[in-house]
């Protein structure tokens, strides 16, 4: 029986943990973290861990960035809180909206602020509805999302999410969400199908779905450029251009969920630039503030804004907003984060470090346990299988991915197990070449121990 320290007991007695197996947590207890510096985080015993997942795909500038701390504290002293309701405003929100408008690769009229990626995507759903009501086409409301997508956990964003655990027993998805295939070539391709043929088939499937539903009822398509929580799925190079052509043909509003990919993760500022598609709007969160404080944003194109103005003239107040939309402290931290990305040339540096990171991943593809290793920029995943030749996975009950993650933790590396025993990697963007080598050395040891455990 595990004997827990006082802090662990207090945790078990009081905290309901998100995304945690509530039953096993009572037996395993928490990992209590205390402090962090750069890409390292330390537990209460002083043991160090590499932040192999940048927290939750978010801590882009690592721990302890004094400039971000200073931006938060000085803004708190100046104006601790102000909201944007009823036309009130403040400089940090205006400046952040201006900066984002100049940075995003989509023509943008306005920026709407939220606190989380889920809220951003929830807002996207509501804006699509609002716009189409304003445009006098109330039947055009359905939104296409993909299998294995992750867009959040609120009622609407969880409905966009295509993972069973986010629907089961929550009575989700809500009506009006259509599902199309995940572009996971390793798992989804048919015998002998090339990547390009696979992409062609998926685009044709999307087109058939829209035709079957009635194109006049389908309003939007949402996608992560590289899928994160669904298994770090990098689509074939021709996938998005083919999907974009279908969306254009049927006048679908295209939303890029840049909550993970945004701000350099894939080697360009935004994932849609790397993957070659032109969304109408993007959702950003996480690295917008390097995760130091919650803030997210949705970009709004001029045509949508014009439609919203019409609707507002008809019904008055635009009835959507959050107490902390554009919180001045969060806005100030986000502004400083964007300033650091530009000044330190963070995105160019990611592109430069990507080849080393991806070479390590390709090396792991030869490991006996790894069926598929994939990634882009500074994000990657290794999918463990029981049989490399047949791609046969392990019995999920065995929990091989979770076991590997537990060994990694013992080796001083925090990573995450996703579906199909995929272990994901997404370190802070500031990770150094030496730290990348160290991260993979720790992962190598975890894999060796997993192999040993399976014998
Ligand atoms: N969209 C993507 C692509 C994400 O990865 C996440 C979270 O991991 C979300 C949306 C939801 O963001 P949040 O957890 O901030 O609500």
Six-digit token string for 340: 């650091």
Give the distance (Å) from ligand 1 centre to CA of residue 248.
Answer: 26
Atom of ligand 1 nearest to the CA of 117: 12
Cis-peptide, bond into residue 14, ω within 30° of zero: no
List, in sequence order, every residue forming a beta bridge with 226; answer none if it has no partner. Answer: none
Give the distance (Å) from ligand 1 centre to CA of residue 59.
Answer: 13
pLDDT at 152: 98
Give the distance (Å) from ligand 1 centre to CA of residue 153.
Answer: 8
Q: Residue 71: pLDDT above 90?
A: yes
Atom of ligand 1 nearest to the CA of 56: 8
Give the distance (Å) from ligand 1 centre to CA of residue 287.
Answer: 11
List CB contacts of 81: < 8 A, sequence separation 6 or more.
327, 328, 329
Contact status, residue 43 vs residue 33, Cβ threshold 8 Å: yes
Give the distance (Å) from ligand 1 centre to CA of residue 236.
Answer: 23
Instruction: Please state the ipTM of this predicted complex.
Output: 0.99
Q: Which of 286, 295, 298 to mutate to test the pocket of ligand 1 (most atoms within 8 A of CB)?
A: 286
Contact status, residue 291 vs residue 268, Cβ threshold 8 Å: no
List CB contacts of 412: < 8 A, sequence separation 6 or more.
47, 48, 49, 50, 442
Please compute the mean of the pLDDT values over residues 349-366 and round it to a whole number.
98
Contact status, residue 209 vs residue 144, Cβ threshold 8 Å: yes
pLDDT tens per residue, range 190-227: 999 999 999 999 999 999 999 999 999 999 999 999 99
Give the distance (Å) from ligand 1 centre to CA of residue 101.
Answer: 21
Q: Are strands 218-223 and 253-257 parallel, antiparallel or unpaired?
A: parallel
Q: What is the 3-state secondary structure (H, E, C) of the chain?
A: CCCCCHHHHHHHHHCCCCCCCHHHHHHHCCCCEEEEEECEEEECCCCEEECCCHHHHCCCCCECCHHHHHHHHHHHHHCCCCCCHHHCCCHHHHHHHHHHHHHCCCCCCEEEEECCHHHHHHHHHHHHHHHHHHCCCCCCCEEEEECCCCCCCCHHHHHHCCCHHHCCCCCCCCCCEEEECCCCHHHHCCCCCCHHHHHHHHHHHHHHHHHHHCHHHEEEEEECCCECCCCCECCCCCHHHHHHHHHHHCCCEEEEECCCCCCCCCCCCCHHHHHCCCCCEEEECHHHHCCCCCCEEEEECHHHHHHHHHHHHHHCCCCCCCCCCCCHHHHHHHHHHHHHHHHCCHHHHHHHHHHHHHHHHHHHCCCCCEEEEEEECCEEEEEECCECCCCECCCHHHCHHHHHHHHHHHCCECCEEEHHHEEEECCCCCCCHHHHHHHHHHHHHHHHHHHHHHC
pLDDT tens per residue, range 96-113: 999 999 999 999 999 999
Residue 356 CA to residue 438 CA, distance in Å, equals: 12
Contact status, residue 443 vs residue 406, Cβ threshold 8 Å: no
Of 204, 119, 105, the closest CA to residue 158 belongs to: 119
Q: Which of 55, 119, 152 to mutate to test the pocket of ligand 1 (most atoms within 8 A of CB)?
A: 152
Please compute the mean of the pLDDT values over residues 239-257 and round it to a whole number.
98
Give the distance (Å) from ligand 1 centre to CA of residue 150.
Answer: 7
Atom of ligand 1 nearest to the CA of 118: 16
Atom of ligand 1 nearest to the CA of 285: 15
If one counts every other C-beta atom within 10 angstroms of the C-beta of residue 423, the result is 30
Atom of ligand 1 nearest to the CA of 121: 10
Atom of ligand 1 nearest to the CA of 154: 16
Residue 219 CA to residue 217 CA, distance in Å, equals: 6
pTM of the model: 0.98
pLDDT tens per residue, range 251-286: 999 999 999 999 999 999 999 999 999 999 999 999
pLDDT band at residue 332 using 50, 70 and 90 as cut-offs: very high
Please compute the mean of the pLDDT values over residues 77-95 and round it to a whole number.
98
pLDDT band at residue 2 using 50, 70 and 90 as cut-offs: confident
Give the distance (Å) from ligand 1 centre to CA of residue 319.
Answer: 24
pLDDT tens per residue, range 16-61: 999 998 988 998 899 999 999 999 999 999 999 999 999 999 999 9
pLDDT tens per residue, range 369-417: 999 999 999 999 999 999 999 999 999 999 999 999 999 999 999 999 9
Residues having CB closer than 6 A to ligand 1 are 56-57, 116-118, 121, 150-152, 224, 228-229, 257, 259-260, 285
Q: Which of 259, 282, 298, 424 to mutate to test the pocket of ligand 1 (most atoms within 8 A of CB)?
A: 259
User: What percentage of the chain exceeds 70 in pLDDT?
Assistant: 100
Give CA torsion, residues 264, 270, 273, 278, to 10 deg. Answer: 180
pLDDT at 417: 97
Q: Are strands 48-50 and 40-43 parallel, antiparallel or unpaired?
A: antiparallel
Atom of ligand 1 nearest to the CA of 286: 15
Please compute the mean of the pLDDT values over residues 287-304 and round it to a whole number.
98
Residue 307 CA to residue 365 CA, distance in Å, equals: 50
The length of the chain is 455
List, in sequence order, every residue forming a beta bridge with 199; answer none if it has no partner. Answer: none
What is the residue with the minimal CA distance to atom 13 of ligand 1? 117
Contact status, residue 248 vs residue 218, Cβ threshold 8 Å: no
pLDDT at 1: 58
Atom of ligand 1 nearest to the CA of 294: 15
Contact status, residue 236 vs residue 203, Cβ threshold 8 Å: no
Give the distance (Å) from ligand 1 centre to CA of residue 151.
Answer: 5
Contact status, residue 300 vs residue 251, Cβ threshold 8 Å: no
Q: Which of 19, 55, 117 to mutate to test the pocket of ligand 1 (most atoms within 8 A of CB)?
A: 117
Give the distance (Å) from ligand 1 centre to CA of residue 161.
Answer: 10
Give the distance (Å) from ligand 1 centre to CA of residue 4.
Answer: 32
Give the distance (Å) from ligand 1 centre to CA of residue 63.
Answer: 20
User: What percentage of the chain exceeds 90 in pLDDT?
Assistant: 96
Please compute the mean of the pLDDT values over residues 146-166 and round it to a whole number.
98
Residue 331 CA to residue 68 CA, distance in Å, equals: 11
Of 21, 422, 363, the closest CA to residue 228 belongs to: 422
Contact status, residue 52 vs residue 425, Cβ threshold 8 Å: yes
pLDDT band at residue 3 using 50, 70 and 90 as cut-offs: confident
**CA dihedral for 240, 242, 245, 251, sign (positive or negative):** negative
């Amino acid at each position: 029986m595990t004997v827990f320290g006082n802090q662990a007991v207090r945790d078990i007695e009081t905290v309901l943990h998100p995304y945690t197996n509530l039953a096993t947590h009572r037996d395993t207890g928490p990992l209590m973290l205390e402090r962090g510096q750069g890409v390292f985080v330390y537990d209460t015993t002083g043991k160090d861990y590499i932040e192999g997942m940048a927290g939750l795909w978010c801590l882009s500038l690592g721990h302890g960035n004094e400039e971000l701390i200073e931006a938060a504290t000085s803004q708190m002293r100046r104006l601790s809180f102000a909201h944007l309701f009823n036309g009130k405003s403040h400089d940090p929100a205006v400046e952040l909206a201006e900066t984002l408008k100049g940075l995003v690769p989509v023509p943008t009229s306005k920026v709407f602020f939220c606190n989380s990626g889920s809220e951003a995507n929830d807002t996207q759903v509501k804006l699509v509805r609002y716009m189409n009501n304003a445009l006098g086409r109330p039947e055009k409301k359905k939104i296409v999302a993909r299998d294995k997508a992750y867009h959040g956990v609120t009622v609407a964003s969880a409905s966009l999410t295509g993972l069973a655990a986010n629907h089961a027993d929550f009575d989700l998805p809500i009506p009006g969400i259509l599902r199309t295939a995940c572009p996971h070539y390793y798992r989804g391709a048919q015998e002998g199908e090339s990547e390009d043929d696979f992409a062609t088939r998926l685009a044709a499937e999307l087109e058939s779905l829209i035709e079957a539903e009635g194109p006049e009822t389908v309003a939007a398509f949402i996608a992560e450029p590289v899928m994160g929580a669904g298994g770090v799925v990098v689509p074939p190079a021709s996938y998005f251009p083919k999907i974009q052509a279908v969306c254009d043909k049927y006048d679908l509003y295209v939303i890029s969920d840049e909550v993970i990919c945004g701000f350099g993760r894939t080697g360009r500022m935004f994932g849609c630039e790397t993957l070659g598609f032109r969304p109408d709007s993007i959702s950003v969160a996480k690295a917008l503030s390097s995760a130091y404080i919650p803030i997210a944003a949705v970009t709004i194109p001029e045509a949508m804004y014009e439609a919203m103005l019409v609707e507002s003239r008809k019904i008055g107040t635009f009835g959507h907003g959050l107490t902390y939309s554009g919180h001045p402290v969060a806005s100030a931290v986000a502004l400083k984060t964007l300033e650091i990305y530009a000044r330190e040339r963070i995105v160019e540096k990611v592109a430069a470090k990507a080849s080393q990171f991806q070479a390590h991943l390709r090396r792991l593809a030869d490991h006996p346990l790894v069926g598929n290793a994939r990634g882009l920029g500074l994000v990657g995943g290794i999918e463990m299988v029981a049989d490399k030749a047949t791609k046969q996975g392990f019995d999920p009950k065995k929990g091989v991915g979770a076991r590997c993650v537990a060994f990694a933790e013992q080796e001083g590396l925090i990573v995450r197990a996703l579906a199909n025993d995929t272990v994901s990697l997404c370190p802070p963007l500031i990770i150094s070449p030496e730290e990348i080598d160290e991260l993979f050395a720790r992962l190598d040891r975890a894999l060796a121990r997993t192999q040993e455990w399976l014998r």
